[in-house]
Amino acid sequence: MTIRAVVRGVGHYLPERVVPNAWFEERVDTTDEWIVTRTGIERRHFAAENEATSDLAVKAAEAALKDAGIGAEGVDAIIVATSTPDFTFPSVATMVQGRLGLTHGFAFDMQAVCAGFVYALANANALIVSGQAGRVLVIGAETFSRILDFEDRGTCVLFGDGAGAVVLEADEAAGTTSDRGILATDLHSDGRHRELLYVDGGVSTTGTSGRLRMQGNAVFRHAVEKLANTAHTALDKAGLSGADVDWIVPHQANLRIITATAQRMQVPMEKVVVTVQDHGNTSAASIPLALSVGKERGQIKTGDLIVTEAIGGGLAWGSVVLRW
């Protein structure tokens, strides 16, 4: 028998404030048509002034636990993927642990920017397969609106706030491609490309949180190539191919990247869960948000083979193949 990390529940939370493209027309030299044509984004959510990343994470976690039909006391570990923590320390994960009332287990944050949730899933899978945890709550949560330069029209229109979460649980399986759970993971990074996507501040440099900076065209080129390659690699590791895929649930950065990656994988867009039009780029939150919305829509069903893939600053990228 083989131990698999199986998704038992999924949930998400979006701040109440919805920001349409028209809001940016009043602030920078842009139009709704320009934003939609180049990104596919129509609206996004921004957190309220008194709403922090941990607040979003807790609400997504509660939704996932409810969907799984378990209480917080049944969780052994919490991993929060985020690049916008409430504080330098403690971690958002330990704050979520406290808010949920957990007095056992362990919790930590994962920082791989937009690839954070994929990295967190891979680490949660390793914890479960190795026997260090039986049930892991994996959360992606971001308040990117706090690090945007609202005078930079090339970046400020792209990002939004939100959170998504999944409950992973150890389960005995036959060790075949038909098993439910995570079947393969593939992670990469290349620090030579730091200047392509970064935030120009930090504790040991400026003492400030800084603002997001990006070379959009270069990021696009890297994203399409690297996302398709990592997805194929993960499928190969699992002994599967693009023809076996029921759904691609990609990082929701840009509709053009999503479309180009699907084409490279030879998977039709009818098999891609797309939420970028409503949420914008929510960084580490985008994949769990899309998983939750995909299930809510009735797209994702038990037994479906899913590929998730993401790339973010670092550059860091990777993919996970799982059967729902």
Q: What is the pLDDT of residue 283?
A: 98
- Measured between alpha carbons, how far is residue 139 from residues 40, 117, 162 in Å? 25, 7, 11
Q: What is the pLDDT of residue 104?
A: 95
Q: What is the pLDDT of residue 14?
A: 98
Q: Give the whole-angstrom CA distance, residue 128 versus residue 140.
A: 19
In this structure, what token pair is assigned to residue 271?
Answer: 């098999």
pLDDT tens for residues 119-171? 999 999 999 999 999 999 999 999 999 999 999 999 999 999 999 999 999 99
Q: What is the pLDDT of residue 92?
A: 98
Q: What is the pLDDT of residue 243?
A: 95
In this structure, what token pair is assigned to residue 69?
Answer: 């039909």
Q: Give the whole-angstrom CA distance, residue 174 versus residue 300.
A: 23
> Which residues are part of the catalytic machinery?
114, 251, 281
- Taken as a whole, the chain contains a residue count of 324
In Å, how far from its chain's centre is CA 319? Answer: 11
Tell me the chain's radius of gyration from C-alpha atoms: 18
pLDDT tens for residues 227-279? 999 999 999 999 999 999 999 999 999 999 999 999 999 999 999 999 999 99
Q: What is the pLDDT of residue 303?
A: 98
Specify the pTM: 0.98
pLDDT confidence bin for 18, thresholds 50/70/90: very high
Q: What is the pLDDT of residue 8?
A: 98
Q: What is the pLDDT of residue 87?
A: 98
Q: What is the pLDDT of residue 240?
A: 97
Which helix (H) or strand (E) element contains residue 15?
Answer: none
Check if the beta carbon of residue 235 is closer than 8 Å to that of residue 242. Answer: yes
- Sign of the dihedral through C-alpha 74, 3, 130, 183: negative
Cα 238-244-246 angle, rounded to 5 deg: 110
